[in-house]
Amino acid sequence: MVEKMEEIHKEEVAKREEKYEKIIMTKNSTEPYIYFLFYQKYEPVKYQKQALLKESAYGDVGLIEKLDNIRFSNLTLQINENEKPMLIVGDGIKITEREIALHPELNQLYEIKYLNNLDTAFRILEAK
């Protein structure tokens, strides 16, 4: 899973990040903000100025809901018109091909497969 997070952050989200006012990243895989900090070589001082850690039920490092224009939340594909354009990063379980078909305003930009090359690990969508 870690190598897939690297692919998401280094290669796919980072190159698209500036085009969107809002990016939604699913929180289903540990704490995804840690991957953003690491793979984007985020400046610690900049992070510490905006970090608002919420206590986690699991007693880990804490929860972050926002980092710049990236929101880490439970994913929903119900998009408000005033939130577009938006980039959405979610796992292949929550964002299925069927779900995408039900939302014509969503466009799949990229799909990341697990190492078995059969199952979808993540999908990156654009809401326009």
Low-confidence stretches of the chain (pLDDT beneath 50)? none
- Domain borders along the chain are 2-127
Q: In angstroms, rounded to a whole number, what is the distance separating the alpha carbons of residues 45 and 75? A: 29
pLDDT value of residue 109: 92
pLDDT value of residue 27: 76
Pair type for strands 106-113 and 86-91: unpaired
pLDDT value of residue 59: 60
pLDDT value of residue 26: 82
The string of pLDDT tens digits covering residues 98-117 is 989 998 889 999 988 888 87
pLDDT value of residue 116: 81
pLDDT value of residue 107: 92
Residues present in the chain in total: 128
pTM above 0.85, yes or no: no
Q: Give the ranges where the chain is alpha helix by DSSP (H).
A: 2-6, 14-16, 33-39, 44-50, 97-101
pLDDT value of residue 35: 76
